[in-house]
């Protein structure tokens, strides 16, 4: 997409010229306010609820309701940071429907020639034939950059795939995101935000294959001939690895780590018929901190966060009627399928995610799903509720995550 078309798209969304260049996480004045003006403010943003975890060291985080898109609380939501492998959510959302999962592909040396040195790998070998399903298992479970590059070459090459991912990000209104490579590896200028990563997860989870892959704990992977080896999902809250207990109700979505980005994580969990999304980026602690802080935020969301009023909104894709945010409607009772205009929409499908056997998920007729054609909403700029003070300089205690 030419720069002129990007500028016109951003102008239509009400961005200033200052928002066009790539910015750093601390460049708060330059970030877009897609989703609501409060999401660009400094400090913890929360309304109508208390008890947001204090011992958070992440440079950015966000908690949202998956069904309504309401952002319940956030910190530096639009801060532009290296995404690591959480960017693979956008890769999957862009390519997942392009190939039948039963299709077979024989890998060549050329498919693996442009993988960055030091990448995470699932162990793909040239000359071996894989199904598309197995390649996606390599992407989601092992975060394999080799699987990403094979799928990208099947799609016509890395450059074509990057361009399609960038176009997809702009359609999703994920304007903090700049894609340089399809795998999320450290590259100059490759950035995203907690807000954008949560958008990717929310939209991706609408797809049954996406849900199935991100919630799969283990799978048998081809090793040549009739031999296989087992691969395990690297999401520690899903598998309970590295001293962490599994998080009750977790349904994915994607974790990531690079030496530049540190740890990043976007997760989703369902309890009591309610599905919450959480993204945590760059905590200043050990490798378990990103999971511990994500779990703490989910605990808050399912508990005290139940009374929270929206501080922003996860907007709809432009291709599905997404529009510039306006004032939010009153909070609806559980089970309502009314749109922002107050009318029930025939295109709204009420369903929630619930974990099923073998890492897949059943669709339950509970709660309200208002993704299709739902008007993008957010908190009016006139809102002047006082934010809770940020406490991100306090280090998180490591080594605890009990099974609930």
Residues involved in catalysis: 85, 88, 143
Start-to-end Cα distance in the chain: 47
Q: Which helix (H) or strand (E) holds 8?
A: helix 3-12
Query: Which tokens sit at 274?
Result: 């309610």
DSSP lists the bridge partners of residue 355 as 361
Where do we find the tokens 């162990």? 123
Q: If we measure between CA atoms, which residue out of 280, 271, 274, 141 comes closest to residue 215?
A: 141
Q: Give the dihedral of Cα atoms 16, 21, 24, 27; nearest 10 deg.
A: -30
Q: Give the dihedral of Cα atoms 139, 142, 143, 144; nearest 10 deg.
A: -70
d(CA 132, CA 154): 10
d(CA 315, CA 308): 18
E strand map for 299-369: 312-313, 352-355, 361-364
The number of beta carbons lying within 10 Å of the beta carbon of residue 356 is 15
Using the 8-state DSSP alphabet, how is residue 140 labeled? H
Q: If we measure between CA atoms, which residue out of 389, 387, 353 comes closest to residue 371?
A: 353
């Amino acid at each position: 997409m030419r720069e002129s078309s990007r500028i016109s798209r951003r102008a239509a969304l009400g961005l200033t010229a200052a928002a066009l260049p790539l910015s750093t996480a601390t460049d708060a004045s330059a970030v877009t306010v897609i989703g609501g003006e409060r999401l660009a403010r400094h400090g913890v943003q929360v309304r109508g609820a208390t008890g947001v975890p204090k011992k958070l060291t992440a440079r950015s985080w966000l908690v949202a309701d998956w069904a309504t898109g309401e952002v319940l609380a956030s910190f530096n939501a639009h801060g532009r940071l290296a995404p690591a492998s959480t960017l693979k959510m956008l890769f999957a959302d862009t390519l997942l429907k392009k190939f039948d999962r039963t299709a077979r592909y024989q890998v060549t040396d050329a498919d693996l020639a442009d993988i960055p040195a030091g990448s995470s790998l699932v162990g793909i070998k040239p000359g071996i034939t894989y199904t598309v399903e197995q390649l996606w298992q390599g992407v989601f479970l092992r975060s394999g950059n080799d699987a990403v590059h094979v799928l990208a070459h099947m799609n016509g090459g890395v450059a074509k795939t990057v361009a399609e991912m960038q176009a997809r990000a702009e359609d999703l209104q994920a304007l903090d995101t700049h894609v340089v490579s399809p795998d999320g590896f450290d590259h100059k200028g490759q950035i995203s935000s907690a807000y954008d990563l949560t958008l990717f997860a929310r939209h991706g989870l609408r797809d049954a294959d996406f849900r199935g892959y991100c919630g799969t704990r283990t799978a048998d992977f081809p090793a040549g001939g009739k031999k296989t080896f087992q691969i395990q999902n690297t999401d520690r809250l899903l598998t309970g690895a590295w001293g962490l207990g599994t998080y009750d109700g977790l349904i994915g979505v994607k974790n990531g780590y690079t030496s530049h980005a540190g740890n990043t994580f976007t997760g989703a969990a369902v309890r009591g018929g309610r599905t919450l999304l959480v993204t945590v980026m760059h905590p200043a602690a050990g490798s378990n901190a990103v999971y511990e802080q994500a779990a703490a935020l989910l605990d808050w969301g399912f508990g005290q966060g139940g009374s929270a009023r929206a501080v922003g909104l996860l907007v709809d894709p432009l291709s599905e009627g997404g529009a510039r945010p306006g004032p939010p409607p009153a909070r609806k009772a559980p089970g309502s399928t009314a749109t922002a205009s107050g009318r029930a929409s025939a295109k709204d499908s009420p369903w929630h995610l619930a974990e099923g056997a073998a890492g897949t998920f059943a669709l339950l007729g509970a709660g309200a799903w208002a993704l299709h054609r739902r008007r993008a909403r957010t908190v009016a700029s006139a809102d002047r509720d006082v934010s809770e003070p940020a406490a991100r300089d306090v280090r998180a205690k490591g080594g605890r995550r009990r099974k609930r």
